[in-house]
Amino acid sequence: MSDKKTTKNLILDAAEKLFAARGFYGVSIRQITTEASVDPALASYHFGKKKDIFDAVMLRRAEILNRERIQMLDDCIRRAKPNPAPLNEIIDAFTHALLNRSNKGGAGWKSYFAIIAQINNHAELGGEIMTQYFDPLAKKFLSAIHATMPESNPEDLYWCYHFLSGALTLTFSGTDRISNLSNGLCPASDLDAVHERLVPFITAGFEAFKAKYSN
């Protein structure tokens, strides 16, 4: 690995950690370079402005996630041919990589998902960033779901996707709400338990609208 790449990764790792803890507006470039133990001028040299660093943080892991999710989706579509892919497998392909990376990918991935949870609830940043990095992927999954549920109203499918996105955002928010509510029965950190329940729960939500138009 070159020194240049090492420096860029140090900056990105530091920025990711700080953005997750303090949000985009609560972090300065100097704080990032101090955390990374690099000269402040190197942040401008490698990236430019703070928003450029933030974009690089988002892109670095989004590319990995999107590639893994599309591969899983393509695999389940291929296995099902000539029939449409099963709905639960499509939902699994959409959620599995996120839960797996958050559960087993280390602190950097947890910070990344904490950032996504923040911006998904941010009026200014959420629409812009989620559109830029994840809308093409979402539309590919929605197309696969529509192929499985061709009789359903597209409006219902978009709302169901919106609810799925909200469930994931809450899961990665980093709060202990579910832990406290359940008196420790359901630890927020138990992402294996999340995955076991999330796919059938979301699948049933979509299928409720499939049944609506089948009757």
In a domain, 165, yes or no: yes
CATH number at residue 154: 1.10.357.10
Q: How far is the C-alpha of 111 from the C-alpha of 12, rounded, in Å? A: 11
In a domain, 117, yes or no: yes
| Tens digit of each residue's pLDDT (9 = 90 or more) over 186-196 | 998 888 899 89
Are 102 and 113 a contacting pair, CB within 8 Å? Answer: yes
CB-count exposure of residue 39 (10 Å: 0-12, 13-18, 19+): exposed
In a domain, 40, yes or no: no
**The total number of structural domains that make up the chain:** 1
Q: How far is the C-alpha of 210 from the C-alpha of 163, rounded, in Å? A: 16
Q: 0.95 exceeded by the pTM?
A: no
In a domain, 143, yes or no: yes
Q: How far is the C-alpha of 87 from the C-alpha of 34, rounded, in Å? A: 47
Q: How far is the C-alpha of 127 from the C-alpha of 135, rounded, in Å? A: 10
Contacts of 57 (CB under 8 A, 6+ apart): 12, 15, 16, 19, 112, 115
Enumerate residue ranges in the chain where pLDDT < 50.
1-3
| Tens digit of each residue's pLDDT (9 = 90 or more) over 95-118 | 998 888 888 888 899 899 888 888
Domain with 91, as residue range(s), is 58-207
In a domain, 26, yes or no: no
In a domain, 141, yes or no: yes
